[in-house]
Amino acid sequence: MKKILYIFAVFFIFCNVFASCSNDDNNDAVTPSGNPAEVAAGTYEGTWTRIANGDTTTNEGTIIIAATDSDFTADFHFISTGYSLDASSVANIAYAGSDGTTFVYNNGTSTNTLGSVFAGRIENGTVSSRFQISQRAGRTMKLFTFLFNGKKNI
Q: Which residues contact 67 (CB under 8 A, 6 or more apart)?
A: 35, 37, 38, 41, 74, 75
Residue 4 has pLDDT above 60, yes or no: no
d(CA 152, CA 154): 6
Q: Where are the beta strands (DSSP E) in 81-125?
A: 85-95, 102-107, 118-123
d(CA 115, CA 133): 7
pLDDT band at residue 20 using 50, 70 and 90 as cut-offs: low
* 58-83 average pLDDT score: 95
User: Which has more pLDDT, 153 or 5?
Assistant: 153
